[in-house]
Structure 1
Amino acid sequence: MTTGVKIATIGGGSSYTPELMEGFIKRYDELPIREIWLVDIEEGREKLEIVGKMAQRMWDATDYDVKIHLTLDRREALKDADFVTTQFRVGLLDARIKDERIPAYYGMLGQETNGAGGMFKAFRTVPVILDIVEDMKELCPDAWLVNFANPSGMVTEAVVRYGKWDKVIGLCNVPVMATMLEPGLIGKETDELIYKFAGLNHFHWHKVADAHGHDVTLDLIDKMYQEDNGLPKNIYDIPFERELLEQMKMIPCAYHRYYYQEEEMLHHALEEYQTVGTRAQQVKQTEHELFELYKNPELNYKPEQLQQRGGAYYSDAACETIASIYANKQTQIVVSTKNNGAVPDLPADCVVEVTAYVGGQGARNVAFGELPVAERGWLQVMKAMELLTIEAAVTGDYGTALQAFTLNPLVTSGATAKRVMDELFIAHKKYLPNFAETIQRLEKEGIQVQDEIARNLDAVKV
């Protein structure tokens, strides 16, 4: 009888993979891995081979006998897997550059998970994750799917709602960073505080209490205006209006800056678009530097430069979740999972991001209770937008996509929004088979991408 855990990672050629390996190595005593399969596509073959060799070096530097397998055959990797992790990016970073530059050309925010770009990332990603789920039903029906592919909340929602697969947990590093960095602001350790999160992925709030149950959220808010607030590297640091936080008595997710400080964040994003390039263009350079490091045959540990990539501490979410399920640890983790009443302002069957205890049966949510009136309004609008985006991704219906665009707070509704959406359809046509009829119609109408770099990405290296 075969012993040990088999893990399959879809998107194994990612620059994040060394962080994942580090997390698994750290937890080997409670998660005895036998083999790890790193899967990618033909366009990612070179990176897969580079990062795969480095991953094996990391394990070889330990006392653990773990074999890294590399493959472009997803089904081969999924066969009899115990856990499947997903960290893929449909269209690679060039697709993200288009997501960011095309809206920016028209004066709108383009971002990986927010606004027009975030919706198109969902349009590309949802059909792929549903294909993966269908393979899992056949090849590893008892496996857990642990998703880190963005937009993580929408991807997880699609798996539950359309894939009919409940053994799924969505993850994000943002709550991890909050619980690691905030306690020091008031002279505490993480295990001395009680955190409760509620909302959606990249759109949540949290409260904090001390070990005696006394709320210390306002104390933390006070310190946030005096100290380093520990923002993720990919988010520009525009301070929240202090009165806003004091009124809600909660701490917003760092990504809330795109909504609460939309004017300032948009100004900064457009300034970068016109000068140094969008965030994706900057990340592309960082990725190039990381893979040059990974080629070093002497490198057998995660390099410090990976912290600048924007997904710091991701292994602490992904690997701890897997270890907690495997060993039934009942660890408190912030996850995207089915609501089941934890956030009464949203339907019980939709996916939310909440604090939960994770064990052998998955996530047991911690009830948060009703949100204040303003936050409840925001949350319900954003969930409606997410559900429409996912429905459009599955059905390929243009009207549903336009409805999602119109509802999104970061998209200025009207003719320009429609133009941005149409250009994004043209730009991403290779990765949007469900919208084939729409794209064919738009091409006949002569719709073309106006931003020169986005238009030429497929033809030239930038």
Structure 2
Amino acid sequence: MKLAVVGGGSTYTPELIDGFARLRDTLPIEELVLVDPAADRLELVSGLARRIFAKQDHAGKITTTTDIDAGVADADAVLLQLRVGGQAARNQDETWPLECGCVGQETTGAGGLAKALRTVPVVLDIAERVRRTNPDAWIIDFTNPVGIVTRALLQAGHKAVGLCNVAIGFQRKFARLLEVEPGQVHLDHVGLNHLSWELGVRLGGPDGENVLPKLLAEHGDAIADDLHMPRKLVDRLGVVPSYYLRYFYAHDEVVKELGTKPSRAAEVAAMEKELLEMYGDPALDEKPELLAKRGGAFYSEAAVDLAASLLGDGGSPVQVVNTYNNGTLPFLADDAVIEVQARVGRDGATPLAVPALDPLYAGLIANVTAYEDLALEAALRGGRDRVFKALLAHPLIGQYDYAEGLTDRLIAHNREHLAWA
């Protein structure tokens, strides 16, 4: 089995490597190709990757290349973990929206749109190269904004599934609180990427006992603290919202908070510098503890599970992924991309049925999906007016003067990445 990781020079990659090494019985990789245009980072990351494999007695071969076509040739699956423009572009996404009184965040609001506009054309180019080189390969997208990027891939006819670590993070957290194995915890996870709710937490499988009321009663303070939301809100909802819902439920509070501290991008850039120095140490043969603060917790385990299911019979039969709606949420078009539990196998992902949603959740999902429709149109076709309409449609913006100001700033800060600008 051969896997390629595009964006393999990321400081995330040792997390992925650690999972590949530990879970080699689930996903028996014979060759892993790390693909990245940054040869210097590739050298540091691949050196540590090989030492991790060696320490854990993994017989797989790790190679590197800056050539996408060579890297994805003959791969059974290609993982995409890109950041077009790097942390510098992310820092802009997180700062200029604040000038208009709107949240600055890399996957939602105006910053999320900027990232989509930069990313979608690049991902589609890579996917076309994969299709020309190996049309049977699966594409696993971890590149944000996952929902929009996955829809672009599926709409273009690629064999693609989107992946996020939010659900597996909740699963692991709830398993720890319940003192059970993670595999015993099944989430009633419903929504869009970075706009989701845990409507139930079931023991043993999709039809198991719902222990969410017990979790909220016994551990509500800890859960609310992790979400940075008040306990009374979580109790009132009776569900566990993704921590990204804080941008919607406490927008003005978050804007004030973000204006008083360095951007997350600045923090991550400093962390990445330190991590890369660590990766260059020939004595280091495991992922450093600092990597846990970088983000992406449990990404490797989710990626292994998904790849194993798409390529064989090693993964879990039911997983939370991003895929076509196909009637699952009846108020959305079939070709909307949703994030729900799905049966995953060699033929891809098929969403499980979900109960009728409270309008409190369905309304926001429909609104953000409409924004994503417009965002993808802007990413594919360009143009100031399309950018403006996407921003105006976003529920965190929604006022024409905000949308006008944000459109000007978005284009000014991203001109080098926008072929039409």
Structure 1 stretch 328-337 or stretch 171-180: which is displaced more? 328-337
Preserved CA contact (<8 Å) 1:177 1:230: no
Aligned residue number for residue 72 of structure 2 = 78
Preserved CA contact (<8 Å) 2:116 2:145: yes
Aligned residues: 417
Aligned residue number for residue 58 of structure 1 = 52
Aligned residue number for residue 24 of structure 2 = 28
Preserved CA contact (<8 Å) 1:98 1:424: no
Q: Which amino acid aligns with 1:300?
A: D
Q: Tell me the distance in 2 between the aligned counterparts of 1:185 and 1:27.
A: 24
- Residues 399-418 of structure 1: pairs in structure 2 closer than 5 A: 399-411=385-397, 413-418=399-404
Q: Which amino acid aligns with 2:6?
A: I
Q: Tell me the distance in 1 between the aligned counterparts of 2:146 and 2:161.
A: 9
Q: By how many angstroms is 1:71 displaced? A: 1.3
With over 3 angstroms needed to count, the CA separation of the structure-2 counterparts of 1:214 and 1:59, relative to structure 1, is closer
1:397 equivalent to 2:383? Answer: yes
The structure 1 residue matched to 2:229, chosen from 228, 231, 239, is: 239
Q: Tell me the distance in 2 between the aligned counterparts of 1:221 and 1:107.
A: 34
The structure 2 residue matched to 1:261, chosen from 250, 258, 278, is: 250
Structure 1 stretch 62-71 or stretch 138-147: which is displaced more? 62-71
> Once the two structures are aligned, what percentage of the paired residues are identical?
38
Q: Deviations over 1:275-315 (max 9, x none)?
A: xx111111111111111111101111111110001211110
1:175 equivalent to 2:175? Answer: no
Give the secondary-structure state (helix, strand or coil) at the position aligned to 1:109: coil
Q: By how many angstroms is 1:246 displaced? A: 4.2
The structure 2 residue matched to 1:10, chosen from 6, 9, 12, is: 6
Q: Which amino acid aligns with 1:175?
A: A
With over 3 angstroms needed to count, the CA separation of the structure-2 counterparts of 1:412 and 1:346, relative to structure 1, is closer
1:208 equivalent to 2:201? Answer: yes
Q: Which amino acid aligns with 1:293?
A: M
Aligned residue number for residue 295 of structure 2 = 310
Q: Which amino acid aligns with 1:22?
A: D
Q: Which runs of 5+ in 2 are unaligned?
A: none
Aligned residue number for residue 240 of structure 2 = 251
Q: Which runs of 5+ in 1 are unaligned?
A: 232-236, 437-462
- Quote the RMSD (CA, aligned, Å): 1.8
Q: Deviations over 1:311-346 (max 9, x none)?
A: 111101112111222222443211001112222232
Structure 1 stretch 196-205 or stretch 415-424: which is displaced more? 415-424
- Residues 22-421 of structure 1: pairs in structure 2 closer than 5 A: 22-41=18-37, 44-161=38-155, 163-165=156-158, 167-206=159-198, 207-211=200-204, 213-227=208-222, 231=226, 237-240=227-230, 242=232, 244-272=233-261, 277-328=262-313, 329-411=315-397, 413-421=399-407
Q: Deviations over 1:341-367 (max 9, x none)?
A: 222232222211001222222223211
Preserved CA contact (<8 Å) 1:182 1:230: no
Q: Tell me the distance in 1 between the aligned counterparts of 2:308 and 2:251.
A: 38
Q: By how many angstroms is 1:54 displaced? A: 1.2
Q: Tell me the distance in 1 between the aligned counterparts of 2:78 and 2:110.
A: 29
Q: By how many angstroms is 1:248 displaced? A: 4.1
Q: By how many angstroms is 1:189 displaced? A: 4.1
Q: Which amino acid aligns with 1:302?
A: K
Q: By how many angstroms is 1:164 displaced? A: 1.6
Q: Deviations over 1:129-173 (max 9, x none)?
A: 111121112101000000101111111011112x221x2111111
Q: By how many angstroms is 1:247 displaced? A: 4.8
TM-score normalized by the length of structure 1:
0.86
Preserved CA contact (<8 Å) 1:40 1:72: yes
Q: Tell me the distance in 2 between the aligned counterparts of 1:287 and 1:228.
A: 29
TM-score normalized by the length of structure 2:
0.94
Give the secondary-structure state (helix, strand or coil) at the position aligned to 2:30: strand
Q: By how many angstroms is 1:74 displaced? A: 0.4
Q: By how many angstroms is 1:387 displaced? A: 1.1
With over 3 angstroms needed to count, the CA separation of the structure-2 counterparts of 1:372 and 1:88, relative to structure 1, is same
Q: Tell me the distance in 1 between the aligned counterparts of 2:117 and 2:307.
A: 27
Q: Which amino acid aligns with 1:343?
A: L
Q: Which amino acid aligns with 1:134?
A: E
Q: Which amino acid aligns with 1:387?
A: D
Q: By how many angstroms is 1:208 displaced? A: 1.7
Q: By how many angstroms is 1:229 displaced? A: 5.4
Preserved CA contact (<8 Å) 2:202 2:211: yes
Q: Which amino acid aligns with 1:268?
A: E
Structure 1 stretch 392-401 or stretch 91-100: which is displaced more? 392-401
Q: Which amino acid aligns with 1:314?
A: Y
Preserved CA contact (<8 Å) 1:218 1:249: yes
Q: Which amino acid aligns with 1:303?
A: P
With over 3 angstroms needed to count, the CA separation of the structure-2 counterparts of 1:416 and 1:262, relative to structure 1, is closer
Give the secondary-structure state (helix, strand or coil) at the position aligned to 1:357: strand
Q: Deviations over 1:400-432 (max 9, x none)?
A: 211110111222522243222212212111111
Preserved CA contact (<8 Å) 1:30 1:327: no
Q: By how many angstroms is 1:179 displaced? A: 0.5
Structure 1 stretch 331-340 or stretch 356-365: which is displaced more? 356-365
Q: Which amino acid aligns with 2:201?
A: V
Q: By how many angstroms is 1:371 displaced? A: 0.9
Q: Tell me the distance in 1 between the aligned counterparts of 2:209 and 2:185.
A: 10
